[in-house]
Structure 1
Amino acid sequence: MSSSSSSSSSQPHIALFPTAGMGHLTPFLRVAAMLTSYDVTVTLITAQPTLSAAESNTIASFFAIYPQIKRLDFHIIPFNSPTPDDPFFIHWEATNRSLHLLHPLISSLSPPLTAIFSDFALATNIIPIADRLQIPTFILLTTSARFLSLMANYPFLTSPEISNNEAKNYIRIPGLTDIPKSSIPPPLLRPGKSLFTSTLASNIVSFSKVKGILLNSFEYFESETITAFNIGEVQSSFPPILPIGPIAPYGLVQGDHSLPWLNEQPAKSVVYISFGSRTAMSKDQIRALGDGLDRSGHRFLWILKGNKVDKEDKEGLEELLSDSFLERTKNKGLVVKGWVSQEDILQNPAVGGFVSHCGWNSVMEAALHGVPMLAWPLHGDQRINAEVVEKSGLGLWEREWGWGGEKLINEQEIGDKVKVLMEDDIFRGKALNVGKEARKAVEKDGGSEKVLAQVINSLNLKGRE
């Protein structure tokens, strides 16, 4: 065998398999891009059809930028949920129900696979496939280590001690501070009532069987939780928690997504508002938020979304906001419907603050650039993520605003909080320090960079066995 053939045969080949939702797809694309800077063959498994147009467009542009990454389209069997549920969770369920079709597709890949990086929601069904191929499975986690600590103790949430005890206001997590019951996604306290809870329950039991959990976070940001996991205090059966974040963006997608208006604004003068790719507020709350931004007196860039799934998001700005609002704020604010490059926005010198739902990708992007956050969590893991944001010094969180839709937050409250976000120098200094530590983690020989290199090196050694 020639030396070049020998090198090729020992090169790790990693398959990455995300689930539906930009919040899950984005970190997988970023890790795939990171792996191209190592001597690694990469295959991205894409479940087809995608749920949203944003996912489909992003995948297409990603492969245009990285033609060296192999693409494996995995056609899923449609699943008609017997009950109304979140469309993203229905897509997860359809993917899981189709996974028996995956083995023949990946067993014939060349060179043979060395490892699979899976979304947590697919773990239980992916592990037997990887075992048949005699390769390790890693979970690429799309949430915080803090929320993982709740997931690890999920069986306890459904125990009579918790579910029947309304007076118990917190959940005790071994080795860590307690989690307020008010921060736990309500579906988790109602076992068996949603696809999300059934997906979590069926997959968390398999976490002990994976080689490691790749975490889009860094030691400085979540040191207490990462350490508690890795010394076995949170859950003794868990594999190593491997922080590799903040996972760096992989570059611009094709097309012009620049915002010339933003480039014309003074440094640190603009508050950026976005609630992610799968969050929609009521029309009353949208209008109160607009009036609050106006009341704050600060320039703003607002990415507005009317529906959870972009294929359904047909309403124009005039239907969501009043003509008077658009007219009186036209010189100090910009409202955009549609996809933008959040990474470009957060690194723009004009941006001085970020009002966010605290989706984990958004948190890590803000951390990387040291942009202070006003946390406004609406559902899912976001209240627990908001706690991490507050504790780390990256942002502030008004707990009394509750879950999204629980109450209407009025314009005065919103305006007052935006003023604090944009005008408190001590607060801004703490966020800048988080940014410095985040960049240090991902630099050459930084903590997160070393962890990823060690994972790849372990696969290199396996390939030579």
Structure 2
Amino acid sequence: MEDQKPPHVAIVPSPGIGHLIPLLEFSKRLVVRHNFAVTFLVPNDGSAMEYSKKLLQSLPKPMAISSIFLPHVSFDDLPADAVIETRIALSVTRSLPAIRQSFKAMAESTRLVALVVDMFGLDAFHVAKEFNVLPYVFYTCNALSMSLEFHLPKLDETTTCEYRDLSEPVKLPGCVPVHGRDLMNPVQDRKNPIYKEVINMIKQLHDAAGLIINTFVDLEPNALKALKERFYSNPPVYSVGPAVQIGSSGFDSGKCLSWLDKQPQGSVLYVSFGSGGTLSQEQMTELALGLGMSATRFLWVVKNPHDEEASAAYFNMESNKDPFDYLPKGFLERTRDVGLVVSSWAPQVPILSHSSTGGFLSHCGWNSTLESIVHGVPLIAWPLYAEQRTNAVLLAEDVKVAIRVKVNDKGLVGREE
């Protein structure tokens, strides 16, 4: 009787809609194409939980995807300057007792065969081992980023300076050269504790039964070929992309689409910095003035500015303050004939698939990037944090579907740009 039950996969997404969405799309494929059952074990760090619940609960019925929202974990002991990656990883580590309890229940009632985590959930491998379950890593970025990460331990051993000070770009088989300043944020300060944590995470990847990566051969043929040749199936690398949303996931999209319906074909620049990205007040003003000067039709998803952290909205997608209050005086009135400004969130996939959308000014988060590529929308690359600068290099210099904004001596993208 046990063998008659469908194979069951536990998925532990680390916090962030950018981690949850591709894992959810991947799980749909496991269920629909391969008759698996899936349970999401969702850590609760207090951020974006309502959005996560709404997303998971909007799945069509019946679908063999269930979810367990784990007890809240506290970060009150973390220093105020703790980087975003530390909190993301700790959300899983501190949820291990609850994950173990859920595993026990699933092992008794299902044919539990595998655990899938992202890069920040590797501590859950310990639980998988206890229950004799195969551990897999779902890599939410691209083959270029994965190649660079696997090279980091060697780079760490052979380099004494900060990577941003490297005189030559990092050159790897199958990959476009990447300057040290364009490596992911967590490795830009080698004295920060998160740097050693990232190096240790990368070494742990070799304990995985397989590496699942959200990219595809037509996009990164050479990098994927080099990755697979490097590992010789230990662990095997599976490219399953593009795992992207289709449709609006049940969220209201009326205002944006109604406005787009009235615009000429290919005339609108969609401007969004993702669920977590924020600009400083000065940068927000420069962008607004630049949009006004360009006379280009635009749809801008605006968030409250933050002068210290480009990822300030990552753990707090909602705000009690009105972001419109931070726009230049008279901006909305001056641009009302060519622009639509919406607060905090917009239905990105329907916008990118709309015939009026002709370009995407993006932070280069990988989900947004794939959605733009799938719908044939060229990009203006404006990376902010995480691995987004690496993504911008891939898009502008390898795939050539983007142009990259230029930053001035003040660290700003000026209105003229």
Please say whether Structure 1 and Structure 2 have the same fold, judged by a TM-score greater than 0.5: yes
Give the aligned partner of residue 114 of structure 1: 113
1:31 and 2:37 are equivalent in the alignment: no
The answer for unaligned runs of 5 or more in structure 2 is: 307-311
The secondary structure found in structure 2 opposite 1:72 is strand
Which of 89, 112, 118 aligns to 1:92? It is 89
Letter in 1 for 2:290: G
Task: Give how far 1:408 is off.
Answer: 1.7
Which of 58, 77, 88 aligns to 1:64? It is 58
Letter in 2 for 1:295: M
CA contact (8 A) 2:10 2:41 kept: yes
1:170 and 2:169 are equivalent in the alignment: yes
CA contact (8 A) 2:93 2:121 kept: yes
Letter in 2 for 1:241: V
1:282-327 CA distance string (max 9 Å, x none): 1111111112112222100001122523356333244221232111
Paired with 1:112 and 1:268, the residues of 2 have a C-alpha distance of 49
Give the aligned partner of residue 12 of structure 2: 17
1:186–1:45 Cα change, 3 Å: closer
Task: Give how far 1:62 is off.
Answer: 2.4
CA contact (8 A) 1:34 1:250 kept: no
1:167–1:246 Cα change, 3 Å: closer
Which of 239, 242, 245 aligns to 1:243? It is 239
1:365–1:381 Cα change, 3 Å: same
Matches within 5 A, 1:385-400: 385-390=391-396, 391-398=398-405, 400=406
Give the aligned partner of residue 142 of structure 2: 144
Equivalent residue pairs, number: 399
Identity of aligned residues (%): 27
Paired with 1:161 and 1:6, the residues of 2 have a C-alpha distance of 53
Instruction: Tell me the TM-score normalized by structure 1.
Output: 0.79
Using the TM superposition, name which of 109-118 and 362-371 deviates more.
109-118
Give the aligned partner of residue 267 of structure 2: 269
Give the aligned partner of residue 229 of structure 1: 227
Give the aligned partner of residue 191 of structure 1: 190
Paired with 1:152 and 1:276, the residues of 2 have a C-alpha distance of 26
CA contact (8 A) 1:301 1:333 kept: yes
Paired with 1:167 and 1:22, the residues of 2 have a C-alpha distance of 33
Task: Give how far 1:70 is off.
Answer: 1.6
Give the aligned partner of residue 8 of structure 1: 4
Paired with 1:41 and 1:146, the residues of 2 have a C-alpha distance of 31
The answer for unaligned runs of 5 or more in structure 1 is: 414-465
Give the aligned partner of residue 411 of structure 2: 407
Paired with 1:251 and 1:8, the residues of 2 have a C-alpha distance of 34
Give the aligned partner of residue 342 of structure 1: 348
The secondary structure found in structure 2 opposite 1:65 is coil
1:126–1:317 Cα change, 3 Å: closer
The secondary structure found in structure 2 opposite 1:159 is helix
The secondary structure found in structure 2 opposite 1:74 is strand
1:179 and 2:175 are equivalent in the alignment: no
Instruction: Tell me the TM-score normalized by structure 2.
Output: 0.88
Task: Give how far 1:245 is off.
Answer: 0.9
CA contact (8 A) 2:14 2:118 kept: yes
Paired with 1:178 and 1:388, the residues of 2 have a C-alpha distance of 9
1:244–1:167 Cα change, 3 Å: closer
1:394-448 CA distance string (max 9 Å, x none): 22224x428xx961221111xxxxxxxxxxxxxxxxxxxxxxxxxxxxxxxxxxx
Q: Which has the higher helix share?
A: 1
Give the aligned partner of residue 127 of structure 2: 129
Task: Give how far 1:268 is off.
Answer: 0.5
CA contact (8 A) 1:208 1:237 kept: no
Give the aligned partner of residue 296 of structure 1: 294
Letter in 2 for 1:32: S
Using the TM superposition, name which of 351-360 and 66-75 deviates more.
66-75
RMSD after superposition = 2.4
Paired with 1:106 and 1:27, the residues of 2 have a C-alpha distance of 22
Give the aligned partner of residue 305 of structure 1: 303
The secondary structure found in structure 2 opposite 1:163 is coil
Give the aligned partner of residue 369 of structure 1: 375
Task: Give how far 1:33 is off.
Answer: 2.4
CA contact (8 A) 1:292 1:410 kept: yes
